[in-house]
Amino acid sequence: MTAPVRPGASTPRSFSFPATVEHRLSNGLRVLCAPLRRLPAATIVFTANAGAEQEEASSAGVASLAAQSLAEGTLRLGANELVTAFESLGGELGSGADWTHAECGVTILTPQLEAAMRLLGETVREPALPGDGVVRLRQERLSELLQQEAEPRGQADDAFSVACVGMGTRDGLPLGGDKLTVAKCTPELVRSFHRAHYVPDGARLVVTGDVSPDEVFRLAESVYGGWHGTAVQGTAATPAAAPPSGGVQVMDRADAPQSELRIGHVSVARTHPDFYALSIANAILGGLFNSRINMNLREAHGYTYGAFSSFDWRRHTSVWSVSTAVKSEVTVAAAQEVLNEIARFRQEPVKADELSLARDYLVGVFPLRFETTAAIGGAIAAREGFGLSADYYDTYRERMSAVTIDDVHRVARTHWRPELLQIVAVGNAAEIREPLTSLLERTK
Amino acid sequence: MHLPLTHHTLPNGLRVTISEDHTAPVVAVNLWYHVGSANERQGRTGFAHLFEHMLFQGSEHVGANEHFELVQRAGGTLNGSTWLDRTNYYETVPSHQLALALWLEADRMGRLLPAMTQEKLDNQRDVVKNERRWSVDNQPYGTWWERLPALSFPSEHPYHHSLIGSFEDLDAASLDDVSEFFATWYTPDNAVLSIVGDVETAEALRLVTEYFGAIPRGKNRPALPPMSVPARFGEWRREVVHDEVMVPRLFLASRCPVFGTAAAAVGTITAAVLGSGKGSRLQERLVRGQQVASSAVAFTFDLSRGSDLFVLDVTAHAEVSAEALEGAVVAELDRLRTDGVTEAEVQRAVTLTATEYVTSMQSVQSRADRLSQFATHVGDAAAINTQVDRWRAVRAEDVTAFAREWLGPDNRASLLYVPREVAEVA
């Protein structure tokens, strides 16, 4: 019998990013509520301007420690009592710092909304930040950094960031700090960071899920209304000085079966108007499974399990990288293919079907990115952290759809800069350092 | 949580579960084949997984890697994965693209072989070897997920051997193996299909029937070798691995009742009491209290036949010795068996486990994958709706009894990673 023919699509149904209702407390705290009628679940996220960009480079890591230390108990509850109280409501307390902001939140079923709102408020407003708890978390970070010395992926990522941004700047150090800076994060420093940056003025409380805004606002007034504090003028990251010129760095693992490879350089701010065209350009070059780089390295050559490119978006100076792990003996050949693909991308415009694949994917996958209350809450927190416009998610698909072949070619020529390319490899240095260096020289 | 479900079986044996949810314009298609590394024949370790890669190399009407392109162009996400006792393939797409996702799955279930070539097999063999290097060989502790099953099941047992396979066996895989494996295992009567999301059941079923209906049943599907093993190890097995790691890490496994049984629900709650969330016993005692560990979790493998594994996974704090780590972990297990647990601890574990289960169901693909799991391993997709009740029925005395029955010294296997330099000095 004949096989069924390949079907077309039926009519798409519309989807909107959940609308946010905002209420501002007199102390400056903004409460953002996005009601969602799906399962009876809700995510509550408190987010403050207390990210890594508020740190001094010399004590990098204090923002992460301050956020994690919120789980170490409150003035009323010990650490174990606090986390057990959350988990007896059904949700695990999660807290951490990103570059632009810190978050502390929980996902629960809606009958627990009030209890969870009150407990989260206590966690944020009245943390104990006990010396032994902070010191333990600092030791855990140092332990993580120690383990990374035997872990080539993390090693490559951290070295790559420094290589691109430059030594001695906050942006070049890992998000959680390195072993020199973390060692300087005393409990007193963590407490003073908390005092300065966990204040209602400028902070956001994001609540998404099967909730009513009126109830959320009432609870927020009750929990946070009596809280006072004004944001300090922070040390918010400033645009970095000129990035270092391109180079090669190899960390030796003589008997490694694979080389971890990173290739790329600094890029523009998250809020740059070329964000949309760059997103599509990146998808075509290395972002999608069917991207040029993955098809070349994985499917044509069998060099790797996967090769992908991505942006680590920051407020001022982002980092763009191609990331892959390849069999040791083809490290140089693989790097050559990546450089060739970057060069070709700058030389010739992309084909129409490449553009449409990337665009249709990024536009079409939009509803899939926001299925859960946690994903929606995180997206709102990220939008606010970067200071993107309130209609950012509402206009995203329209703006992405407007990108043309010429836009992609222009941003490729403008923002991919061969003279800045850094190559970082963790692998057999004796075999790969020299050839990678001469490869990069030929590219410049 | 009660999901609306309808169940259907096509004349060729394909079992289908459909669950409508019109709250967002998305749909999940999820297909489980009841075949995994346990079904590999001798000398072909890693083949089930290599074969999974070949399913993305096209079928009669789909080019190599075109499956990826078509789904992504449609605004969808997709992947596949291989486990000891199943292989799954799945797409999440905007709901108006349901037909495409179903058609793609049907084309490769019905007509894979015309697209298979030696060149594609050789290429994917290289890709998989690189996957092995990346996930196992060049990763600290990366060998644990082949060492632990090997330690826990006898050498002739289907769960014993490596899922990702050896380079030698991967090299031996041929196109004939591809044809034979396909004909034997990738048949509608050895698969379950779950569809969840913004669909009309009648229309979805019409599409399923149109695309999958003419694919013939399988024949001569061999039975698995005997899966049953003694319920307990009957001893304390120990393996110490001196490896390229910076701090010790202990995997402590016990045999326990298989997925889907009432006893397994108690096992899940016991694992949560010990090692789920920041308020778990291991977190309180080993991470925050004694500070011998920097991370500590407990989980079950959820194996479906013979025996499951209950596993503690604990990584030492810097400068804590392997002996001290193991001593502290074992003391917690023994204390659990001696003193039992409190009702409050069990309630924390039940509430956390149930809430995470329900909130994970916000994703249509998570829902579909669970439906396929229950349909494949317990023969009843509707078990998705009673899972929470099973957990809520667990009492403190059940957890205490589980610990006494399954977590004793006569039923333990320790896989202990030790930094190589330290080992040489000692």
* pLDDT one-digit tens code per residue, B220-231: 899 888 899 999
Q: What is the pLDDT of residue A1?
A: 55
Which residues of chain B have a CB within 8 Å of the CB of A108? Answer: 355
Q: What is the pLDDT of residue A255?
A: 87
Q: Hey, are the CB atoms on A257 and B137 less than 8 Å from each other?
A: yes
Q: What is the pLDDT of residue B220?
A: 86
Same-domain status, B244 and B197 = no
Residue B293 touches chain A, beta carbons under 8 Å: no
Q: Hey, are the CB atoms on B355 and A91 less than 8 Å from each other?
A: yes
Same-domain status, B37 and B162 = yes
Strands (E), A176-303: 204-209, 247-252, 258-267
* pLDDT one-digit tens code per residue, B294-330: 999 999 999 999 999 999 999 999 889 999 999 999 9
| Residue given tokens 């309630």 in the structure block | B347
Q: Hey, are the CB atoms on A366 and B354 less than 8 Å from each other?
A: no
A41 near A162, Cβ under 8 Å?
A: no
Q: Hey, are the CB atoms on A363 and B74 less than 8 Å from each other?
A: no
Last residue of a domain, which of B212, B246, B274? Answer: B212
| Residue B125 confidence (pLDDT) above 50 | yes
Last residue of a domain, which of A224, A255, A281? Answer: A224
Which ipTM was obtained for this model? 0.94
State both tokens at A111. 């009958």
**The CATH number of the domain where A66 resides is what?**
3.30.830.10
**Percent of chain B having pLDDT more than 70?**
99
B59 forms beta bridges with B62
Same-domain status, A66 and A170 = yes
Q: Hey, are the CB atoms on B133 and A257 less than 8 Å from each other?
A: yes
B330 near B336, Cβ under 8 Å?
A: no
> Is residue B225 domain-resident?
no
Question: How large is the average pLDDT for residues A55-60?
Answer: 94
Q: What is the span of the domain harbouring residue A416? A: 247-443
Residue B3 touches chain A, beta carbons under 8 Å: no
* Separation of alpha carbons A412 and A251, rounded Å: 30
Same-domain status, A257 and A406 = yes
Same-domain status, A258 and A366 = yes
Q: How many CB atoms lie within 10 A of CB A170?
A: 22
A266 near A420, Cβ under 8 Å?
A: yes
Q: Hey, are the CB atoms on B77 and A368 less than 8 Å from each other?
A: yes
Same-domain status, B146 and B267 = no
Last residue of a domain, which of B148, B178, B212? Answer: B212
Same-domain status, B207 and B243 = no
Q: What is the span of the domain harbouring residue B360? A: 235-425
Strands (E), B259-318: 293-300, 308-316
Question: How large is the average pLDDT for residues A388-401?
Answer: 96
Query: Which among B138, B245, B278 has the least Cβ separation from residue A258?
Result: B138
Q: A291 to chain B nearest CA, in Å?
A: 10
Sign of CA dihedral B348, B353, B356, B357: negative
* Separation of alpha carbons A172 and A165, rounded Å: 5
Which helix H or strand E contains B325, and what residues bound it?
A: helix B322-339
Q: What is the pLDDT of residue A259?
A: 97
Chain A residue nearest residue B285, CA to CA: A80
Same-domain status, B241 and B200 = no
Q: Hey, are the CB atoms on B351 and A149 less than 8 Å from each other?
A: no
Query: Which among A1, A84, A107 has the least Cβ separation from residue B214?
Result: A1
Same-domain status, B207 and B239 = no
Same-domain status, B151 and B33 = yes
Which residues of chain A have a CB within 8 Å of the CB of B125? Answer: 302
Q: What is the pLDDT of residue A234?
A: 56
| Local structure of residue B378 (DSSP, 8 states) | T
Chain B residue nearest residue A365, CA to CA: B75
> Is residue A163 domain-resident?
yes
Amino acid at A157: D
| Residue B423 confidence (pLDDT) above 50 | no
| Residue A444 confidence (pLDDT) above 80 | no
Amino acid at B39: N
Last residue of a domain, which of B212, B244, B272? Answer: B212
B29 near B195, Cβ under 8 Å?
A: yes
> Is residue A7 domain-resident?
no
Sign of CA dihedral B376, B377, B380, B384: negative
B417 forms beta bridges with B241, B249
Which residues of chain B have a CB within 8 Å of the CB of A17? Answer: none
| Local structure of residue B247 (DSSP, 8 states) | S
> Is residue A16 domain-resident?
no
* pLDDT one-digit tens code per residue, A15-33: 999 999 999 999 999 999 9
Q: What is the pLDDT of residue B116?
A: 97
Looking at the 3D structure of chain B, how many domains does it have?
2
The 3-state secondary structure of B326-375 reads HHHHHHHHHHHHHHCCCHHHHHHHHHHHHHHHHHHCCCHHHHHHHHHHHH
Burial profile B206-236: b = 16 or more Cβ within 10 angstroms, e = fewer: ebbeebbebbeebeebeeeeebebeebbeee
Q: What is the pLDDT of residue A241?
A: 74
Which residues of chain A have a CB within 8 Å of the CB of B96? Answer: 9-13
Q: What is the pLDDT of residue A142?
A: 95
> Is residue B221 domain-resident?
no
* pLDDT one-digit tens code per residue, B334-378: 999 999 999 999 999 999 999 999 999 999 999 999 999 999 999
Same-domain status, A436 and A295 = yes
> Is residue B367 domain-resident?
yes
* Separation of alpha carbons A205 and A381, rounded Å: 9
Query: Which among A10, A39, A356 has the least Cβ separation from residue B358?
Result: A39
* Separation of alpha carbons A150 and A268, rounded Å: 32
* Separation of alpha carbons A385 and A396, rounded Å: 17
Q: What is the pLDDT of residue B187?
A: 98
* Separation of alpha carbons B425 and A280, rounded Å: 54
Q: A383: which residues sit within 8 A by CB, 6+ positions away?
A: A392, A393
CA-wise closest residue to B186 among B84, B54, B61:
B54
Q: A80: which residues sit within 8 A by CB, 6+ positions away?
A: A73, B279, B284, B288
**The CATH number of the domain where B348 resides is what?**
3.30.830.10
Burial profile B349-384: b = 16 or more Cβ within 10 angstroms, e = fewer: bbbbbbbbbbbebbbbbbbbbbbbbbbbbbeebebb
Q: How many CB atoms lie within 10 A of CB B162?
A: 20
Query: Which among A84, A139, A364 has the least Cβ separation from residue B317?
Result: A139
Q: How many CB atoms lie within 10 A of CB B45?
A: 24
Query: Which among B138, B278, B288 has the least Cβ separation from residue A256?
Result: B138
Q: B261 to chain A nearest CA, in Å?
A: 24
Packing angle, helices B262-275 and B396-406, rounded to 10: 90
Same-domain status, B330 and B396 = yes
Looking at the 3D structure of chain A, how many domains does it have?
2
Which residues of chain A have a CB within 8 Å of the CB of B111? Answer: 3
Q: What is the pLDDT of residue A233?
A: 63
B375 near B15, Cβ under 8 Å?
A: yes
> Is residue A328 domain-resident?
yes
Packing angle, helices B396-406 and B343-360, rounded to 10: 90
Same-domain status, B170 and B254 = no
> Is residue B228 domain-resident?
no
State both tokens at A145. 């950094």
> Is residue B160 domain-resident?
yes
Which residues of chain B have a CB within 8 Å of the CB of A14? Answer: 25
Which residues of chain B have a CB within 8 Å of the CB of A8? Answer: 99-100
Same-domain status, A180 and A65 = yes
Same-domain status, B101 and B161 = yes
Chain A residue nearest residue B243, CA to CA: A150
B28 near B78, Cβ under 8 Å?
A: no
> Is residue B222 domain-resident?
no
| Residue given tokens 């922070």 in the structure block | A234
Q: What is the pLDDT of residue A231?
A: 78
> Is residue A238 domain-resident?
no
Question: How large is the average pLDDT for residues B32-54?
Answer: 96
Q: Hey, are the CB atoms on B73 and A360 less than 8 Å from each other?
A: yes
Q: Hey, are the CB atoms on A109 and B359 less than 8 Å from each other?
A: yes
| Residue given tokens 């504090």 in the structure block | A229
Tell me what the pLDDT averaged over chain A comes to.
Answer: 95
Three-point CA angle B207, B208, B212, nearest 5°: 120
| Residue given tokens 């600094």 in the structure block | A266
Same-domain status, A71 and A188 = yes
Q: How many CB atoms lie within 10 A of CB A346?
A: 14
SS3 for A237? coil
Q: What is the pLDDT of residue A239?
A: 62
> Is residue B314 domain-resident?
yes
Q: Please count the CA atoms within 13 angstroms of the CA of A43 that sit on its side-chain side.
A: 27
* pLDDT one-digit tens code per residue, A65-124: 999 999 999 999 999 999 999 999 999 999 999 999 999 999 999 999 999 999 999 999
> Is residue A309 domain-resident?
yes
Same-domain status, A140 and A203 = yes
State both tokens at B402. 């589980």
B354 near A91, Cβ under 8 Å?
A: no
Q: What is the pLDDT of residue B262?
A: 94
* Separation of alpha carbons B103 and A197, rounded Å: 54
Which residues of chain B have a CB within 8 Å of the CB of A77? Answer: none
Chain B residue nearest residue A326, CA to CA: B130
* pLDDT one-digit tens code per residue, B160-214: 999 999 999 999 999 999 999 999 999 999 999 999 999 999 999 999 999 999 9
Task: Give the mutation candidate from A132, A147, A182 for the B interface (greatest B CB count, under 10 A).
Answer: A147
**Percent of chain A having pLDDT more than 70?**
98
Q: What is the pLDDT of residue B425?
A: 45
B325 near B250, Cβ under 8 Å?
A: yes
> Is residue B138 domain-resident?
yes
Q: B236 to chain A nearest CA, in Å?
A: 29
| Residue B422 confidence (pLDDT) above 60 | no
Same-domain status, B126 and B204 = yes
Q: How confident is the model at residue A171 (pLDDT cuts 50, 70, 90)?
A: confident
Task: Give the mutation candidate from A139, A179, A293, A305 for the B interface (greatest B CB count, under 10 A).
Answer: A305
Total residue count of chain A as it appears in this document = 444
Q: B203 to chain A nearest CA, in Å?
A: 12
Chain A residue nearest residue B103, CA to CA: A6
Q: A237 to chain B nearest CA, in Å?
A: 31
| Residue B426 confidence (pLDDT) above 80 | no
> Is residue A2 domain-resident?
no
> Is residue A9 domain-resident?
no
Question: How large is the average pLDDT for residues B251-256?
Answer: 98
Last residue of a domain, which of A224, A239, A267? Answer: A224
| Residue A238 confidence (pLDDT) above 90 | no
φ/ψ of residue B16, rounded to 5: -125, 135
Same-domain status, A215 and A141 = yes
| Residue A342 confidence (pLDDT) above 50 | yes
Same-domain status, A316 and A383 = yes
* Separation of alpha carbons A430 and A432, rounded Å: 6
Query: Which among A9, A39, A93 has the least Cβ separation from residue B100?
Result: A9
Listed by number, the residues of chain B in 164-203 with a beta carbon closer than 8 Å to a beta carbon of chain A are: 198
Same-domain status, B82 and B168 = yes
